[in-house]
Amino acid sequence: MPVNPLNVSLVSLGCPKNLVDAEVMLGHLPDDRFNIVVEEEQADIIIVNTCAFINDAKEESVDTILEVAEYKHSGRCQLLIVAGCLPQRYQEQLQEQLPEVDLFIGTSEGARIVELIDKQLQLSTPSRAIGVPDFLYDHTTPRVNSSPAYSTYVKIAEGCSNRCSYCVIPQLRGDLRSRSIDSVVAEVHSMVANGVSEVNLIAQDITAYGRDRNDGASLPGLLRELVKIEGLVWLRLLYAYPEGISDELLELIAREEKICNYLDLPLQHIDDRILSGMNRRLDEAGTRLLLKRMRQRVPDLTLRTTFIVGFPGETREQFDKLLQFVGEGHFERVGVFRYSREEGTPAAQLPEQVAAATKTSRFKRLMKAQARVSFQKNRALIGQIEEVLIEGYSDETDLLLKGRSRRQAPDIDGHCLITAGQANVGDYVRLRITDSSDYDLIGEICDKAEASNDS
């Protein structure tokens, strides 16, 4: 065993669900043996937690691995570990293609990180530890929150049983596995006791939460317990599949002040033939009814969705239908993916694969259409007062504070730029919106009397 603690640097790629996995790994590193450092050049051990969801993510993962591998020559790195989805998916190929890597570990091996490090330090050749993806962390699992002190992600379930035809998640993460309500509540209690005031609930499909359990657990039941936690200010729901949006859930969102009037529900397309090819269960008519019901039941709802362009067989007419649908203005936020042909998925075998140039063109057109919608929706907020969480100074200038409203999820949505007033990081303030851009809001902090008069 080393006399002096080893420096460990961890790079986490991909989604917030991956970030939680990385935080679990860091939580298992005892302080007397390991120091967590940000600078890779100072690290004795570098861990890259990878994403392999689509081609762009795989390329980013490989590029990052090759970049940090240079520290084995120019820095002090003696152990390079690649973790997560990429080795889980390509366990056979990676050892040959990336000889710079000393250890590959899968998506369910993070809690064994110390054992695996100790073993690898005794070996002179690369190795791998990749098992069945069946791990599910709970409130007793050590974890280091790497998000800002006031905010965190809490993963309420792992894996997915939806079997969308384009998706590799079940291969990488296994079938749906939900935590108990008591476990999630205990973790959030602990986070709030340590200063967290915003909790973002995540899973591959949070509306499926509890379906695999026989104890009556459900998302509404979980939310009813979480809103009781004193000190919790915002509770946000991410990755809510449309088929699982019940009236009970919508009524809870509308009624409970702590639950942000914000939903992220991936729709992927609007054309019925494309949706059928994707193995999505909600068709256009059902989608339109759902959107109408959501707007009716939840006042001032902010909706985020994602779409895929260039799915096999997508015609110009089918894309134009999607383009028109986005232009109708149903969504405050839209993310767009170019279809990625992933080996091992049913969609990869479909005929009529769409050319890369066509996918890129459609991606740009759809994003441009949504930018117009977002701009108009933001302009409509001018004059309103929004509750805003202060996050620090703007990335562009330290003369302006920045924050997020309930309408803005961390990392994926815009910000509120604050042109007047002072507050501390982690404060919640009332902000009068004075201007906007496509994705950001601009405003001035109200004094308490002004905010009270306008509320």
CATH number, position 421: 2.40.50.140
Together in a domain, 112 and 221:
no
- Alpha-carbon distance of 403 to 125, in angstroms, equals 48
Query: Among candidates 53, 45, 46, 47, which has minimal Cα distance to 14?
Result: 53
State the DSSP string of 304-322. Answer: EEEEEES-TT--HHHHHHH
Burial class of residue 302 in the structure, from the number of CB atoms within 10 Å of its CB (0-12 exposed, 13-18 middle, 19+ buried): buried
Q: Do the beta carbons of residue 134 and residue 109 sit within 8 Å?
A: no
Together in a domain, 217 and 349:
yes
Together in a domain, 322 and 446:
no
Whether residue 159 is contained in a domain is answered as yes
- Give Cα 372 to chain centroid, integer Å: 25
Could you tell me the two tokens for 371? Answer: 């930018």
Is 416 annotated to bind ligand? no
Q: What is the pLDDT of residues 400-424, one digit of tens each?
A: 899 999 999 998 888 999 998 889 9
Number of domains into which the chain is organized: 3
Together in a domain, 103 and 157:
no
Is 160 annotated to bind ligand? yes
CATH code of the domain covering residue 276: 3.80.30.20
Could you tell me the two tokens for 165? Answer: 């035809």
Together in a domain, 263 and 389:
no
Whether residue 146 is contained in a domain is answered as no
Together in a domain, 312 and 428:
no
| Average pLDDT for runs of 10 along the chain of length 455 | 80 90 94 91 92 86 90 88 91 85 92 93 88 92 91 95 92 93 97 96 95 94 97 95 93 95 95 96 95 94 96 96 96 95 92 95 96 93 93 82 92 89 91 90 77 50
Domain extent for 397? 385-454
Together in a domain, 284 and 423:
no
Last residue of a domain, one of 379, 407, 427: 379
Whether residue 279 is contained in a domain is answered as yes
Whether residue 141 is contained in a domain is answered as no
3-state secondary structure of 62: helix
Q: Which residues, listed in sequence order, are joined to residue 7 by a DSSP beta bridge?
A: 35
Could you tell me the two tokens for 159? Answer: 């894996």
Q: For the chain, report the end-to-end CA distance as a whole number of angstroms.
A: 61
- Alpha-carbon distance of 120 to 113, in angstroms, equals 10
Whether residue 145 is contained in a domain is answered as no
Query: Among candidates 255, 254, 362, 368, which has minimal Cα distance to 317?
Result: 362
Together in a domain, 341 and 448:
no
Residue 422 Cα distances to 110, 137, 399, 402, 427, angstroms = 41, 39, 11, 11, 10
Whether residue 122 is contained in a domain is answered as yes
Together in a domain, 199 and 338:
yes
Last residue of a domain, one of 379, 402, 417: 379
Whether residue 192 is contained in a domain is answered as yes
Whether residue 47 is contained in a domain is answered as yes
Q: Which residues, listed in sequence order, are joined to residue 345 by a DSSP beta bridge?
A: none
Q: What is the pLDDT of residue 450?
A: 54
Q: What is the pLDDT of residues 343-402, one digit of tens each?
A: 989 999 999 999 999 999 999 999 999 999 999 999 999 999 999 999 988 877 777 899
Residues with Cβ within 8 Å of 398's Cβ and at least 6 positions away in sequence, in order, are: none
CATH code of the domain covering residue 29: 3.40.50.12160
Q: What is the pLDDT of residue 454?
A: 55
Together in a domain, 320 and 180:
yes
CB atoms within 10 A of CB 42: 14
Together in a domain, 194 and 342:
yes
- Alpha-carbon distance of 46 to 315, in angstroms, equals 45
Is 167 annotated to bind ligand? yes
Together in a domain, 32 and 53:
yes
Last residue of a domain, one of 335, 352, 379: 379
